[in-house]
Amino acid sequence: MKAIRAHVQDGKIVPDEPIDLPEGAAVEILVPDNEMSAQERAELEAEIEASAAEFERGEIEDAHAFALRLVAKA
């Protein structure tokens, strides 16, 4: 899954950068509630970006592999 930034313009969601998706591709859009402060939103976005970078570097362990490793230690 890939997160993209977008904004609303004239009632439509417009990506901030070009997206390489096939025509007609289905996408899921999660709309954040406005209960977060600007500081909380900035911290969350920084953590998401850091996690995405870890994933790109291959530093994220597959959940299934992690579970198997835990079971093997028991």
3 state SS for 2-46:
CCCCEEEECCEEEECCCCCCCCCCCCCCCCCCCCCCHHHHHHHHH
Domain assignment of residue 26, given as a range: 6-73
Query: Is residue 29 domain-resident?
Result: yes
- pLDDT tens track of the chain, all 74 residues? 678 889 899 999 999 999 888 999 898 888 877 778 889 889 999 999 999 899 889 888 888 988 998 999 87
Query: Is residue 60 domain-resident?
Result: yes
Q: Return the structure tokens found at 49.
A: 């970006």
Number of domains in the chain: 1
Write out pLDDT tens, residues 59-69. Answer: 888 889 889 98
**Alpha carbon separation from 50 to 11, 13, 36, 71 (Å, rounded):** 30, 25, 19, 29
Query: Is residue 40 domain-resident?
Result: yes
Query: Is residue 1 domain-resident?
Result: no
Query: Is residue 28 domain-resident?
Result: yes
What's the predicted TM-score (pTM) here?
0.42
Give me the residues paired with residue 12 across strands: 9
